[in-house]
Structure 1
């Protein structure tokens, strides 16, 4: 009997001294053909102490919804999504912590060549833009544009198509004349799928110069900055240069950020510290997703 008690005591001691099981971190990302999903895979590989479950989603607002209802513990989102979401659910935003910046993303707009426009500001009430479904990055940014300049953008029609379906509709041009995708440079959806329609579609500038003045976050900071898609990034869909090759396209840019649920953080502080170290380790590889190739 004493021997049995001794064995039981040793077993209990072993259980007590065993390290606590690390929490799984459910990471909402985006379309598997865009960079958030790839970035999630990089974080998953780098995170050797905390298991990361990479979840494909519709995009930024969908991610914030899933964070709000407990389906995810963290997410990669556009910073303008925080602006749009706070206008709908300010309480949910208060339950999130910004963990870091991945990189900057460009607003890519692809239009039918016959439309004959070179910049987004030339769109009018006779045009329709495929911005993706509710919750997607494109839809989010379009909603932010409307918040910033209702007179200009609320009159333009929108369509929920996205991805290859949207590019095919733009190439045909009857129902949809443009498609908007918010992503860092060289995402496969643009580099591969959009360029396949290169005979019929072209990139147009999204550098609306009013955006940095009118689109502000809750602290009064500008949500957008200006950048460009360098010449030669997407040779089949960029406008021709004056002499040869293609020319750069002006864009508005938005930060891609990593946010986490404060409920997860408070319940798993040690694991969250480990996750942040893994994010720092993965960040150089993540940032390569946004660099010209």
Structure 2
């Protein structure tokens, strides 16, 4: 009997160990000082208080890198914009929670195009290309929009390695690649309202304008929770980070999307049901606290 009791105790111990929370919660965020980092640094301690784990906030390049790390199992939780969640390779059946809202800015130079939707015109599309930063969430969005609306099919995208170099091309209205001049219509930038990167605003604030995304083609898209992926919104003066708008636009129309907290399946599976519920609640609590403070 003693041996059976000992065996049962050992099995229970192994089972408990197998379902225990990982010793370290790896939270993939974004660049140093950015809002994704602030979000992870606020949510993480609320979770680890429930699980008894240590917290490791991992700085990354943002949504695209976070999706890659989730797929590779290098992070347990990540912040990712919602169109990247549904369009990038990710683990199956992921669980996501809505976080804060972000604005899709259409930025163009004085020689560019003031409305993203004008790129549907074949004559305009033949002349101009979109600028985009490699690995950015904005590149994910513009590719998703081109895929969603066949009128943009064949649109050209010129990729840059930083927001500064992309903004430089947008401000002057063109870039030279392999000796060929390419006219730049503008670029998308995604971020919290009024939080456009200083790489864009400091040196190019007088040359770059905020235009519109006045196209209804994206209204029916759904996110991972089957909610609207994009919603119509406007950019009031306080949300422009000092940039002017195109002459014809008072409060430019655009779309907004959500950043989402995405869970690695293996991490949730490692938790007991009650513990997993506490983690989900801790995420909601952390989101509410940090988004209210950093508006």
**Cα distance between partner residues in 1 of 2:247 and 2:110:** 16
CA distance in 2, matches of 1:211, 1:74: 28
Q: Does 1:212 align with 2:219?
A: yes
Task: Specify which of 270, 278, 283 is matched with residue 279 of structure 1.
Answer: 283
Tell me which moved more, 35-44 or 141-150.
Answer: 35-44
- Among candidates 101, 115, 120, match of residue 119 of structure 1: 115
SS of the aligned residue for 2:237 comes to coil
Equivalent residue number for residue 101 of structure 1: 98
Local SS of the residue matching 1:102: strand
Q: CA 1:254–1:240 in structure 2 vs 1: closer, same or farther (change >3 Å)?
A: closer
* 2:190 matches 1:182: yes
Residues of 2 paired with 1:152 and 1:159: CA distance? 17
The answer as to whether partners of 1:95 and 1:263 remain within 8 angstroms in 2 is: no
Partner of 1:83: 86
Any idea what SS the aligned residue of 2:158 has? strand
TM-score by length of 1: 0.76
What value does the CA root-mean-square deviation take over the aligned residues?
2.9
CA distance, structure 1, for counterparts of residue 189 and residue 245 of structure 2:
18
Kept in 1: contact 2:82–2:224 (CA 8 A)? no
Unaligned ranges ≥5, structure 2: 1-19, 120-124, 176-183
Q: C-alpha separation between the residues in 2 aligned to 1:31 and 1:170? A: 23
SS at match of 2:239: coil
Alignment pair present for 1:195 and 2:201: yes
1:47 is displaced (CA, Å) by 4.4
Whole-angstrom CA distance in 2 between matches of 1:181 and 1:285: 26
Alignment partners' CA distance in 2, 1:21 and 1:259? 17
| Alignment deviations for residues 20-76 of structure 1 (CA, whole Å, 9 cap, x no partner) | 786311112223354222212222354452433222222223212211111111111
Write the mapping of 1:1-293 to structure 2, written as runs, cut at 5 A: 23-32=23-32, 34-47=34-47, 49=49, 50-85=53-88, 89=89, 92-98=90-96, 100-115=97-112, 117-123=113-119, 124-134=125-135, 136-152=136-152, 154-175=154-175, 176-187=184-195, 189=197, 192-196=198-202, 197-213=204-220, 215-217=221-223, 221-234=227-240, 236-239=242-245, 247-269=250-272, 272-288=276-292, 291=295
* Contact map agreement 1:97 1:259 (CA 8 A) in 2: yes
Please list the CA deviations of residues 153-204 of structure 1 after superposition, one character each: whole Å capped at 9, or x if unmatched: 5423332333223222322332144232212213251xx3322212111011
2:217, 2:69 → 1: CA distance? 32
SS for the counterpart of 2:174 is coil
* Distance in 2 (alpha carbons) for counterparts of 1:51 and 1:148: 42
**Structure 1 residues 198 and 63: CA distance shift in structure 2, 3 A:** same
> What secondary structure, in the 3-state scheme, does the structure 1 residue paired with 2:105 have?
strand
